Amino acid sequence: MLKATHASKGKSRFGKTLLLTISVLSMLLLAGCISSAKVYNNDKNVVYNGTMYNLANVKQIKTTITGIQDGDGQIDLKNANKKEFQALLDEEKSIYVRMAFQFDDQEMLYRASSVKSWSEFSKMKNSFESAGNKISKLMADKKQIQLKLK
């Protein structure tokens, strides 16, 4: 003959307590996973010469390199090579070169000075391109929110 056995109240309480403890720990672990999700801020700022430029809503960044000669107006020097630049210098003793970044409708003047040789212009252009690369990296990096240019 089979006797029906009943679990003792002690074992029943232990099972319920264990189930409750596991449930609570599972919820805490789940809550910990959710709260540790990283949320990155989309604000991007460039600081240059004491001015802060907010790039959070900028859709397009352009660069301009222009030269200004006496009486001739502006000349686009963005793709000028050494031979073309030397020809401009033969006409004038120096060329006023202006390098800027356009953030949609906002302009950030990077460098503006008179240049008397190709080597001066080349150093200016390399510095300008380096700053452009740093701005590109800032925009691509989710974690970085501010860039200080020198």
> Do 33 and 73 belong together in one domain?
no
> What's the pLDDT tens digit per position in 87-143?
888 888 889 999 999 998 899 999 999 999 999 999 999 999 999 999 999 988 888
> Do 98 and 30 belong together in one domain?
no
> What's the pLDDT tens digit per position in 49-69?
989 999 888 899 999 999 987
Domain range enclosing 14: 8-37
**The 3-state secondary structure of the chain, one letter per residue:** CCCCCCCCHHHHHHHHHHHHHHHHHHHHHHHHHHHCCCCCCCCCEEEECCEEEECCCCCCEEEEEEEEECCCEEEECCCCCHHHHHHHHHHCCCEEEEEEEEECCEEEEEEEEEECCHHHHHHHHHHHHHHHHHHHHHHHCCCCCEEECC
> Do 21 and 64 belong together in one domain?
no
3 within a domain of the structure (yes/no): no
> Do 57 and 79 belong together in one domain?
yes
> Do 128 and 85 belong together in one domain?
yes
> What's the pLDDT tens digit per position in 2-54?
555 555 555 677 778 877 888 877 777 766 655 555 555 578 899 999 899 99
125 within a domain of the structure (yes/no): yes
> Do 135 and 88 belong together in one domain?
yes
Straight-line distance from the first to the last Cα atom of the chain, in angstroms, rounded to the nearest whole number: 93
132 within a domain of the structure (yes/no): yes
> Do 110 and 143 belong together in one domain?
yes
pLDDT on residue 5 = 54
> Do 16 and 54 belong together in one domain?
no
CA 149 to chain centre: 12
pLDDT on residue 69 = 76
> Do 33 and 59 belong together in one domain?
no
> Do 106 and 123 belong together in one domain?
yes
Domain total of the chain = 2
- Calculate Rg over the CA atoms of the chain: 32
